[in-house]
Amino acid sequence: MRAQFLRGPFFGDSLQSMRSLALHRFFLRFALAGVHIFAWIFVFQYFYFVESDIANALARTALLYALSQTVHCLATPFTARFLLVGTRRVLIFGVLFAATAFVSLGATFEGFWSTAYIGAAIAVYAISIGLYRAIYWIPYEVEASVQRRTHISIFKEILIALAPLVAGLFIVSVEEGPALILYIGAGIILLSTIPILYVRDIHERFLWNYRETFVRIFHIENRHMVVESFLEGISGAALILFWPLTVFLIVGWSYGMLGIILSLTFLVAILMRGVVRRLLRRLHLTKSVFLNMVFAITPWLFRLVVATPIGIMLVDSYSYTTTPRRLGVDPFSFEQTADGGSYVDEYTALKEISLALGRIVICLLGAAAVLLISIPAALVSIFLVAGLSTAAGVFWSRSV
């Protein structure tokens, strides 16, 4: 059921509103693409420096990520009710939580807190990220604002693709680079609030109460959507958390090399995915379940054997080019259902909760695996589960 539309635009016409929303999304995506993944790597490094044990550091990072997703899951039905006060305010509050997360983490690594409070400050980062995801409800007009693939939109995608490269080089080139890049990311995120003021204010009523929202997850009519989102959550967390950490270890703990790899793979995807899509349409293979399952699982199988930066770039380029699940090519900033152009309604909330549950499950399994078995075997297990989940998600989505 669509959430009830209560009031029209507050000021500004629809075109101006969509342009303002697109500008806001550009600033936010640029900041997240450049800072988000590095933030989790900073957390991993901190845990490693505390105990000098990679397994414990990986496990703690995974559990912290699970904490952020737990907050996201539990807070989503509550924050959805805030849509009644207007999407503009909701967007601003979500952006403030994201900025707070990076400022908190930057202050932590700059030594602002005493040693006794560092753990609590890092937990504040995870909780703030979870609250940002829970409260950041994108207006449904985002779907209309991204339909046309113009030269300007492609230019924006290229700039966003370059964000990891710029961030990685900045970190290794500037003294206190990790803290400063977090502050810069927070500043750009705060800058994105200005265009929000010109986005039309839409008021929507979320029809389910808190308990009913979770009960609806188990309704048979929602099973298909919930399972598909749950499977996507499993593969998404493996791609957004475990794979970048693995790449970071492979490239010798180099921020610069990690940034280069991410940016190059995104650029290749921008240049090649249109060619691949046209080729598949010409061969009438876009709806082939078998081919889509091959595209879904083979990148994960390739990730099991790559051990060089060139191999990583080839595998990720292949992955982002053949299996684009979201708009854009930066999976590290696209983590929400509405990012795909979904309407904001009760079923969007179910998708968000299911995504979060999938991420929590793979994080808990991953944390247990790295502690109980060897790190290589644990990572292989995580990527195999992610590959199977991705393939199962493709099959499940085509089974309707």
pLDDT at 57: 96
Q: Which two tokens stand for residue 71?
A: 């907050």
pLDDT at 140: 55
Tell me the CA distances in angstroms from 57 to 63, 244, 373, one per residue in order: 10, 14, 14
| Distance from C-alpha of 123 to C-alpha of 104, rounded to nearest angstrom | 10
| Distance from C-alpha of 322 to C-alpha of 235, rounded to nearest angstrom | 15
The answer to whether 34 and 216 are in contact (CB under 8 A) is no
Q: Supply the pTM of this predicted model.
A: 0.90
Q: Strand ranges (DSSP E) for the chain?
A: 4-7, 203-205
Q: Token pair 């549950």 is at which residue?
A: 357
**3-class secondary-structure state, position 323:** coil
Instruction: Fill in the amino acid letter for 318.
Output: Y
Partners of residue 4 on adjacent β-strands = 205
Give the DSSP H or E segment for 258.
helix 255-282
| Distance from C-alpha of 75 to C-alpha of 94, rounded to nearest angstrom | 12
φ/ψ bin of 208: left (φ > 0), alpha (ψ from -120 to 50), beta (otherwise):
beta
pLDDT at 328: 47
pLDDT at 226: 92
pLDDT at 389: 93
One digit per residue, pLDDT tens: the chain, 400 residues? 343 433 444 444 677 888 888 899 999 999 999 999 999 999 999 999 988 899 999 999 999 999 999 999 999 998 888 888 888 888 999 999 999 999 999 999 887 877 778 888 999 999 999 999 999 987 655 444 444 556 667 888 899 999 999 999 999 998 888 999 999 999 999 999 999 998 888 777 788 888 898 999 989 888 888 999 999 999 999 999 999 999 999 999 999 999 999 999 999 888 888 788 888 888 877 778 888 888 889 999 999 999 899 999 999 999 888 864 544 455 555 455 444 444 556 788 899 999 999 999 999 999 999 999 999 999 999 999 999 999 898 887 766 5
pLDDT at 400: 58
pLDDT at 17: 80
Tell me the CA distances in angstroms from 355 to 110, 142, 181, 232, one per residue in order: 33, 20, 28, 6
| Of 144, 141, 132, residue with least CA distance to 200 | 141
